[in-house]
């Protein structure tokens, strides 16, 4: 899943934040999340394009339950923080090659574990599903603030 973040109208930094999970994204309670985060500064058209620094990183597990009875539908949503880091200062320079992604602090997200929560399921009246949300904050060396968020469904199954 990929999200692009833009900033002010003149000489915008354009970032590509990519979060990778193996396919299919089936996660088990207690297991480590095999999440890889990649970042690329795409504003490389000029030599004076600003360098970008990741400043913060958060990963959370979003759980949504929807109950449907006839035409009535009610939804509950909860969130659990899995990782929250601040003060990151790794510089990501500009790349003229758009397919070059730098791993964000290699191995950093590897310690994230899925908590013991009810697995995803669907019945005729209830649907319970989970998604991972990755939120990252960035700044350029010129102190422009940029933020980006990714959300994707990740099936959480019971371990065998």
Q: Which residues pair with 102 in a beta bridge?
A: 39
Cα 50 from Cα 145, distance rounded (Å): 12
Cα 109 from Cα 91, distance rounded (Å): 18
Angle in degrees, CA 139, 140, 141, rounded to 5: 120
Cα 108 from Cα 35, distance rounded (Å): 9
Strands 155-157 vs 26-28: parallel, antiparallel or unpaired:
parallel
Mean per-residue pLDDT of the chain: 73
- The count of other CB atoms within 10 Å of the CB of residue 60 is 18
Cα 133 from Cα 86, distance rounded (Å): 16
User: pLDDT by residue for the chain (160 residues), tens digit each?
Assistant: 555 554 444 555 677 778 888 887 788 888 888 888 777 777 655 556 666 777 788 889 999 999 999 999 999 999 999 988 887 766 665 555 555 566 665 546 667 888 888 888 999 999 999 888 888 887 776 655 655 555 555 544 433 2
Topology classification of domain 2-59+83-115+133-157: Immunoglobulin-like (2.60.40)
- The string of pLDDT tens digits covering residues 99-141 is 556 666 554 666 788 888 888 899 999 999 988 888 888 777 6
| CB 54, CB 88: distance < 8 Å | yes
- Strand-by-strand arrangement of the 36-41 sheet: 2-5, 15-20, 36-41, 102-103
């Amino acid at each position: 899943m990929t999200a692009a973040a833009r900033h002010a109208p003149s000489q915008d930094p354009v970032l590509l934040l990519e979060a990778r999970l193996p396919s299919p994204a089936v996660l088990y309670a207690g297991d480590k999340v095999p999440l890889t985060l990649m970042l690329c500064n795409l504003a490389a058209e000029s030599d004076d394009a600003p360098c970008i620094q990741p400043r913060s990183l958060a990963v959370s597990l979003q759980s949504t339950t929807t109950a449907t009875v006839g035409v009535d539908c009610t939804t509950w949503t909860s969130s659990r923080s899995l990782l929250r880091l601040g003060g990151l200062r790794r510089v990501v320079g500009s790349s003229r090659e758009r397919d070059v992604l730098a791993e964000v602090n290699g191995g950093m997200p590897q310690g994230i574990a899925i908590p013991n929560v009810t697995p995803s399921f669907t019945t005729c009246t209830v649907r319970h599903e989970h998604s991972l949300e990755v939120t990252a904050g960035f700044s350029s060396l010129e102190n422009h603030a940029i933020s980006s968020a990714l959300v994707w469904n990740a099936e959480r199954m019971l371990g065998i």
